[in-house]
Amino acid sequence: MRVISGDRKGMPLKAVNGDTTRPTTDKVKESLFNILGPFFHDGTVLDLFAGSGGLGIEALSRGMEHGVFIEKDSRAFQNLKENIAKCRYESNSEIYRNDATRALKLLIKREFQADLIFLDPPYNKHGYYDLVKDIIENNVIAEDGIIVCEHDFQLQLPDEVESFTKYREEKYGSTIISFYRMIEGEG
């Protein structure tokens, strides 16, 4: 696993051994960022189930100015901290060891807002995808922001959540990536 592009291109990232996390493969990550747009100019990324931080770090490498990383698993959290330090993103990153639901409640209290949100919970925890509604209802995502959900091919996410619509869905083996943004003229 490595950073694919941007100012930290080629930087190897440490992943957790075992089945507690499921890192996004380099191939899927490259395709995902080609869809989002290869580079960003500023903005904030929220990586809600960060694991080793591959998606959020990739967004920082491609030009996002600030990253917030949430990870509950202690081994993954340790790797996340090491990867952020290795990539020299400590000054523009916040890292929290917390459950995503609790962390989201704290971010809502702070009136936090992100331009890009990655939601990649364990595939067997379908209830976590309900967080998309909380994210939208509480303005955690900017009006022109994008929510990216990575999920198992057997789970069908809704075409619309509040004022956001699924504008694209890509399948990679047993993984599906669903992209949400605000429906034109709403919000």
SS3 breakdown of the chain: % helix, strand, coil, rounded to 5? 30, 30, 40
Exposure on the CB side of residue 147, measured as CA atoms within 13 A: 32
pLDDT at 137: 95
* DSSP structure class, residue 52: T
pLDDT at 21: 56
Q: Mind listing the domains of the chain with CATH numbers? A: 26-35+42-182 (3.40.50.150)
Residue 69 to residues 39, 45, 49, 119, 163: CA-CA distances in angstroms? 20, 8, 8, 11, 25
User: Can you tell me the distance from the alpha carbon of 9 to that of 60, in angstroms, rounded to the nearest whole number?
Assistant: 11
Model pTM greater than 0.85? yes
Say if residues 97 and 72 touch (Cβ distance below 8 Å): yes
Q: Kindly report the backbone phi and psi dihedral angles of residue 16, in degrees, each rounded to the nearest multiple of 5, phi listed first.
A: -80, 135
**pLDDT tens across the length of the chain (187 residues):** 899 999 999 999 998 765 555 667 778 888 899 999 878 989 999 999 999 999 999 999 999 999 999 999 999 999 999 999 999 999 999 999 999 999 999 999 999 999 999 998 887 776 788 899 999 999 999 999 999 999 888 888 999 999 999 999 999 888 899 999 997 755 5
Pairing status of strand 141-152 against strand 175-182: antiparallel
**Which residue's entry shows tokens 């491609």?**
62
* DSSP structure class, residue 128: G
